[in-house]
Chain A
């Protein structure tokens, strides 16, 4: 059966320059004029090579995104984590039903009785409850809503 969703991608082959770029740019691009030129100097690359490699890392999916990382709630939107206990025989159909909602930003299969975990991001905080009701109607399953009550600040850096 063909499935519309992504399977787990294989680790990429990265050379030393790619690794330096990924390590450096997880920490953030400086907000200065010609920022890529500034970072390229730090990394011992030309600006053109940095841009070319960044484009390739994005195209090949090593980087899922490059740009400003917005804080959804502070933009005035709603954000929550939600989970479903999906019967195995219905799993593919429920994936399709849940992923069809544009408000579903991420969705992961996890090994637990609650086996589908997704993040909802909505234009307004009020819209979260509506989308949850719509997902319950579309799937016939109870949505476990787990909005964050407190965020403990971290800054992830995955060294490569």
Chain B
């Protein structure tokens, strides 16, 4: 079974998995045994926490356990959401190629809202300067070729909120 096309694997998670998600969504403890620190209040061994995270990672529920940098603080001050009006017949093949370009952090096909919004391919680009982002966008433009009718670069000029994804607490705790 391919995990990438599954709309939801929620049923696959049991109450213990969910408790681990809730306990770690704000972050992993910075202690020598982080798995044990997560497991202790849940009545789980560190090994059990690690095994479950590994299984969730294999299933694609956990992308990875990693550091998420603040782009701006790393000097990547030019963050452009590039949006492209791409031929529907060719977008899936081209989207996969766009995603492989350096500097692209997210790449999605999304619905158009005509006439206000004709763009159906979104690629986030990150650079230290706008010139860097524009050079990346030129590469993308070339790759899309005749399949692309129009595009825009929407720079972010302010972070208004960034809390990350949060699940609210659920009643189903492990027994």
Which positions in A face B, CB cutoff 8 Å? Answer: 5-12, 14, 21-22, 25-29, 31-37, 47, 51, 54-55, 57-58, 60-77, 79, 81, 95, 98-99, 102, 104-112, 114, 116-118, 121, 123, 125, 144-154, 156, 158, 160
Q: A11-B75, A54-B30 are in contact. List 5 more A-B contacts (CB 8 A).
A: A8-B158, A33-B33, A37-B32, A69-B62, A151-B108
Chain B residue contacts of A51, Cβ below 8 A = 30-32
Are A144 and B113 within 8 A (Cβ)? yes
Q: Is the CB of A31 within 8 A of B53?
A: yes
Instruction: Give A149 to B121 CA distance when docked, in angstroms.
Output: 10
**Cα-based distance from A106 to B111 in the complex (angstroms):** 20
Which residue of B4, B31, B68, B168 contacts A123 across the interface (Cβ within 8 Å)? B168
* 5 A-B pairs with the lowest CB-CB distances in the bound complex, closest first: A76-B10, A152-B99, A28-B64, A156-B105, A25-B67
B interface residues with partner A (beta carbon < 8 Å): 3-4, 6-11, 13, 21, 24-28, 30-35, 46-47, 50, 53-54, 56-57, 59-77, 81, 91-92, 95-96, 98-100, 104-111, 113, 116-117, 122, 126, 152, 154-168
Q: Which residues of B contact A57 (CB under 8 A)?
A: 67
Contact of B34 among A27, A35, A58 (CB under 8 A): A35
A102 touches B166 (CB 8 A): yes
Residues in chain B near residue A72, CB distance under 8 A = 165
Given known contacts A144-B116, A151-B107, is B73 in contact with A11 (CB within 8 Å)?
Answer: yes
Given the interface pairs A66-B28, A110-B81, the reply to whether A75 lies near B111 with Cβ below 8 Å is no
Are A99 and B161 in contact (CB-based, < 8 A)? yes
Partner of A148, one of B26, B30, B108, B161: B108
